[in-house]
Amino acid sequence: MTSAAASADLLELARDIAVRAGAFALEARRHGVSVAATKSTPTDVVTAVDRDTEELIRSLILEARPDDGIVGEEGAAHIGTSGLDWIVDPIDGTVNFLYDLPSWAVSIAVAEGGGADAAAGPGAIDGVTLAGVVCNPGSGELFEASLGGGARSTGRTLAVNRDVPLHQALVATGFGYAAELRRLQAEVLLGVLPSVRDIRRNGSAALDLCALAAGRVDAYYERGLNAWDHAAGGLIAREAGAHVAGPHGGPENSELLVAAAPGLYEELAELLRRAGLEA
């Protein structure tokens, strides 16, 4: 198992790469952005900046750690031999990025003992996440955590809100790109919205998990995430005190991710179950 000192080194490298990649994407944004291609549906877009940012991240990781593996949203794949895998979303919140809304982020995590989409099912992290960084160049904020080392943002220790009852909870969620998934998500929302303070749809799963860690929302859930959406943010939320889990309380994956402080987590998971989402 990687030592705390090694995790700290990985975190430092992830932070350095995320900051450089964020600055690159922000500069590219100033010159204008357009859709380069669509992916799963006509609204699931990729810009040239997503691709170029991922390529920059990939080259910086391999320059520093040539034996590690890489899994990236825009297709970066490198099979490593070290047992460590980097899970990269070059721009989480691509639609916000396209529209010049500030909620988008570079998300980089390092996991040991597996990569994305392996034994725990599609969208799961197979292995243990050791370090995670979410960098939001639009706000100038950076969120980070290492396993057992707590979560921080710009020198501040992060902690989730405690003892919030469900009916007072501000709950973040997100929607996928496929029409059928959205229909289901809208149906579940009908069961959730009357029972909570309100809902937020920020447009970046990575930043939703960081908002939970920072106490800016009380809970977050979503169905349909990929490993790169939640790998770094999931560690940051956990290290800030959140309980993060997936279907039936098992590992979070494409089926489901629910995250909140203990107590609220159980209440929300039960509400989601009653609303038709297995938790």
Residue 140 backbone zone (phi > 0: left; psi -120 to 50: alpha; other: beta): left
Select the residue whose beta carbon is closest to ligand IPD and give its number: 174
Provide the 8-state DSSP code for 10: H
Q: Given the complex with ligand IPD, which of 39 and 274 has the nearer CB atom? A: 39
Give CA–CA dist 223/174, Å, rounded.
8
Give CA–CA dist 209/207, Å, rounded.
5
Q: Interface mask (CB under 6 A) for ligand IPD, residues 93-122, using x and -?
A: xxx---------------------------
Give CA–CA dist 94/228, Å, rounded.
13
Query: 187 Cβ partners below 8 Å, 6+ apart?
Result: 275, 276
Of 197, 221, 201, the residue nearest 270 (C-alpha): 221
Contact partner, 225, from Ca ion, ligand IPD, none, Cβ < 5-8 Å per class? ligand IPD
Candidate ranges 56-64, 85-93, 159-167, 192-200; the one touching ligand IPD (CB under 6 A): 85-93
Interface pick for ligand IPD out of 127, 176, 233, 241 (rule CB under 6 A): 176
| Burial (0-12, 13-18, 19+ Cβ within 10 Å), 140 | exposed
Interface pick for ligand IPD out of 175, 195, 199, 216 (rule CB under 6 A): 175
Sites for ligand IPD among residues 198-237 (CB under 6 A) = 203-205, 222, 224-225, 229
The number of residues making up the chain comes to 279
Q: Given the complex with ligand IPD, which of 46 and 110 has the nearer CB atom? A: 46
Q: Interface mask (CB under 5 A) for Ca ion, residues 60-99, using x and -?
A: -----------------------------x--x-------
Count residues near ligand IPD (CB under 6 A): 16
Q: Which residues of the shown chain bind Ca ion in the complex (CB under 5 A)?
A: 89, 92, 229
